Amino acid sequence: MILVKNLLKQYGHGPSAVQALKGIDLKVEEGEFIAIMGRSGSGKSTLLRILGLLDMPSGGEVQIDGINALKLAEKEKARFRLQMLGYVFQEHSLIAELTVLENVYLPAVSDLANTNYKKRAGEILEIVGLKDRVKHYPSEISGGEQQRVAIARALMNQPRTLFADEPTASLDADSSKVVLDLFSRLNKDLKQTIVMVTHEPEDRQYVDRVVWMKDGRIVNG
C-alpha cells in the first residue's frame, strides 16, 4: 500500500520558484491499478518520480508498505528500488549492449542467492509475449516490444509496486493496446499494484481508478 501525505515539490527559489506539487494526499491499495491523468505541467510525472524514489519532495511523506521511503539513505533507497519497486519509463530505457534476456535479468545479477534468474527472466518474457526475442538487442525490436521488455525488467525482482511513466506515449495504437493489456493482465492475474501516468483518456478503461491532477493538486481521486 502507498500512502502519500501532504506532498510538496518546489523547483527553484524566490519569486521564480515553481510549485509543482501543492500538498498531495493519496492512497493506493495493494493490488490496485490506478492512472494519474492531467494536462502537461499538472505535476503527474513529478508525483510519480517521487513515488518511485527517483526524486525528493520539498515536503510531505511517502509510505510504501509501511516504510517511510523518503527517510531512507541513498544506498537503502537504491536497494528499495531494486527489490520493492519497478519503474517503466516513457521510452529508450533499455541498455543497448544487452540482449532482451540480459536486460530483463539485469536487476537480479547482483543477487548471488538467486541462481535461477535467467530462467525467471525467460518466464517473464513469455508472460509479456517476447519469448522468441530473448537474443535480440533493443535496436532489433520495435518500440512496443522494447516497452514490454522494460515492463519485464521492472517485474524481474517481483516488486510490490510497478510505476509506469506514460509507457505508451511513444507507441502506436496497436503497440499501446498490447502494453496496456499486459498491465491489465498483470494486475488481474498477479495482483500487481500499478501506478501509471498517462495522457490518453481511453486508457481509463484499463484501470481501477483515475486520479486527476491539475496545477499540482489532485482534483479527484
Partner 1 sequence: MKTILGNLKLALFLAFKSMFKGNKWALGLIIVVMAFSFVNLIFTSAVISGVMATMDSQMVNTVFSNVIVSPRQDKYYIDRADEIEARISQVAGVSETCAHLNTRGFIEYGWKEKALPWDRVKSGSWNVLGIDPLQEARVTTIGHNMIDGQYLDENDTSSIVLGVEVAGGKSAQTSNFLTLGGVNVGEKVRVSYPNGIQREYTVKGIFRAREMMQADHLAFVTHKEMVSVLGRSEFANRASEILVKADRNGVEENLAAALAATGIDLEIRGWKEYGGSYRSVISTFEIIGAIIGGTGLVVAAIVMFIVIYINVLSKKRQIGILRAIGIPANAVLGSYLIQALTYAVMGITLGWLLIRLVLQPYFIFNPIDFPFGFLSLNIESARIIGSAIGLTAAAVLAGLIPSWAVMRESIIQTIWGV
Backbone φ, ψ for residue 2 (5° rounding): -115, 130
- Please list every residue from 60 through 79 that binds partner 1, using CB under 8 A: 74-75, 78-79
User: Considering the complex, what minimum distance in angstroms separates the CB of residue 25 from partner 1?
Assistant: 23
Distance CA 196, CA 209 (A): 11
β pairing state of 59-64 and 161-165? unpaired
8 binds partner 1, rule: CB under 8 A: no
Kindly identify the residues of this chain, within the stretch 156-215, that bind partner 1 according to CB under 8 A: none
Q: What span, in angstroms and rounded, lies between the C-alpha atoms of 213 and 78?
A: 28
Residue 59 CB contacts under 8 Å (≥ 6 apart), including other chains: 6, 7, 8
Q: Which three cell numbers stand for residue 194?
A: 500499478
Amino acid at 171: L
Q: Which is nearer to partner 1, 111 or 126 (CB)?
A: 111
Q: Give dist(CA 167, CA 71) in Å, integer.
A: 28
Nearer to partner 1, 14 or 96 (CB): 96
Shortest CB 171 distance to partner 1, Å: 18
Amino acid at residue number 175 = S
Asked if 71 and 22 touch (Cβ cutoff 8 Å), the reply is: no
Of 104 and 130, which has the nearer Cβ to partner 1?
104
Minimum separation from the CB atom of position 205 to partner 1 (A): 29
Of positions 52, 144, 167, 216, contacts partner 1 by CB under 8 A? 52
Per-residue binder mask for partner 1 (CB under 8 A), 93-122, x = binder: x-xxxx---x---xx-xxxxx---------
Site for partner 1, rule CB under 8 A: 49, 52, 54-55, 74-75, 78-83, 85-87, 89, 92-93, 95-98, 102, 106-107, 109-113, 137, 153-154
